[in-house]
């Protein structure tokens, strides 16, 4: 698979994502349901703690990717749903660190929502990965 970043502007590069990803010659596509801060039983964890919730949502996303023999390096699109955009942006470094080891970035959208699947959830990550 060949990935080419498409960035008519450079401002998003400092945040760790591309405006678009051109994907050619792909073999497999994994479309992930949104992953949030829940344990193996589906119980919400870390109420009120955006950084911890973002970390656990990333752990859960990595587990789903691993189930398909993929890693965060295969993520081409990451949609971030949050009940508090300002608070998410304060903790965006948690996300940037996790993806920082990959030479490839991803396309992304941050979406503010009124609520998520549970009243204690602050963030959910929806990814598409390709290899």
Q: Which of 26, 10, 34 is nearest to 82 (CA)?
A: 34
pTM exceeds 0.95 for this model: no
Asked if pLDDT for residue 17 goes beyond 90, the answer is no
Which domains does the chain carry? 2-130 (3.30.1330.40)
Q: How many whole angstroms from its chain centre is CA 12?
A: 15
Condensed to tens digits (0 to 9), the pLDDT of residues 50-79 reads 999 999 999 999 999 999 999 999 999 999
Q: What is the pLDDT of residues 72-101, one digit of tens each?
A: 999 999 999 999 999 999 999 899 899 887
Q: Is pLDDT of 112 > 90?
A: yes
What pLDDT is attached to residue 8? 87
Is the per-residue pLDDT at 121 higher than 90? yes
């Amino acid at each position: 698979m060949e990935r080419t970043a498409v960035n008519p502007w450079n401002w998003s590069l400092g945040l760790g994502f591309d405006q678009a990803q051109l994907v050619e010659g792909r073999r497999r596509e994994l479309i992930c349901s949104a992953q949030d801060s829940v344990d193996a039983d589906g119980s919400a964890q870390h109420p009120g703690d955006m950084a911890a919730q973002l970390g656990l949502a990333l752990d859960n996303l990595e587990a789903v990717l691993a189930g398909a023999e993929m890693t965060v390096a295969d993520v081409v699109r990451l949609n971030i749903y949050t009940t508090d955009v300002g608070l998410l942006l304060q903790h965006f470094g948690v996300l940037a660190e996790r993806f920082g080891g990959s030479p490839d970035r991803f396309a992304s959208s941050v979406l503010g929502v009124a609520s998520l699947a549970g009243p204690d959830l602050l963030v959910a990550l929806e990814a598409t990965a390709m290899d």
